[in-house]
């Protein structure tokens, strides 16, 4: 059964949080987007890159202050 990093079962419709780092902010007059990087999980070695609207994310800290998970 699919589960999250804490062992909780996951199913369609669940709300999740994805940890990543902001690479670049692209401000606009009507909206702001950002480029984010997500660390890969084995067997993959290349980081994932996403483009998100800033309203889709919530700041949890800075890289030097956030504990790696």
Q: Is residue 5 part of a domain?
A: no
In a domain, 15, yes or no: no
Does 61 map to a domain? no
When divided into structural domains, the chain yields a total of 1
- Would strands 21-27 and 32-38 be described as parallel, antiparallel, or unpaired? antiparallel
Domain residues for the domain of 30 are 21-56
Take residue 41 and report the two structure tokens written for it.
């999980």
Distance set, CA 33 to CA 15, 51, 58, 59 (Å)? 21, 7, 13, 14
Query: What span, in angstroms and rounded, lies between the C-alpha atoms of 20 and 35?
Result: 10
- Evaluate whether 39 touches 47 at the Cβ level (below 8 Å): yes
This prediction has a pTM of 0.74
* pLDDT the model gives residue 3: 93
List, for the chain, all residue ranges whose pLDDT scores fall below the cut of 70: 65-69
Predicted pLDDT at 52: 95
63 within some domain: no
**pLDDT of 68:** 60
């Amino acid at each position: 059964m699919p589960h999250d990093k804490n062992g909780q079962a996951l199913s369609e419709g669940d709300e999740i949080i994805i940890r990543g780092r902001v690479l670049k902010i692209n401000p606009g007059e009507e909206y702001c987007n950002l480029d984010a990087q997500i660390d890969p999980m084995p067997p993959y070695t290349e980081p994932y890159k996403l483009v998100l609207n800033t309203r889709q994310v919530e700041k949890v800290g800075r890289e030097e202050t956030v504990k790696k998970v």
